[in-house]
Structures are given as structure tokens and as C-alpha cells.
Amino acid sequence: MKHDGTGFGLLTARRYIEGHGGSLDLDSQIQAGTKVRIVLPIESTGEPPE
């Protein structure tokens, strides 16, 4: 069954996130909900953190 979606899409999101050196993880359970974890690396500016 196909629907007309307007969303970004998980596959597209994963490609962009991985393209930036990160990861996208999903954990979904019926009657419990869905957890989404997006991890992106911090880009170094060459300056020490404040």
C-alpha cells in the first residue's frame, strides 16, 4: 500500500547522518514506543572548550 508522504524519510535521514560520520539507531516496541538515537561527531575548531 503506497501513500503520498511528505516526510523526510528514515533512509534519507540515515544517509545524511552517516555522511557526516554519525549514526542513527532505532528501538521500537509495541505498546512501549520508539527510541531514536542520533550521534554526530563534534567538529574541532582548534580552540579549547570554554
pLDDT of residue 18 exceeding 70, the answer is: yes
pLDDT-derived band at 13, boundaries 50, 70, 90: very high
Q: Which one, of 14, 16, 19, 36, lies nearest residue 27 by Cα?
A: 36
Task: Output the nine-digit C-alpha cell for 2.
Answer: 503506497
User: What is the structure's pLDDT at 23?
Assistant: 96
**36 vs 17: CA distance, rounded Å:** 13
Q: Three-state SS across 1-50?
A: CCCCCCCCCHHHHHHHHHHCCCEEEEEEECCCEEEEEEECCCCCCCCCCC
Q: Is the pTM of this model over 0.85?
A: no
More confident residue, 40 or 45: 40
pLDDT of residue 49 exceeding 80, the answer is: no
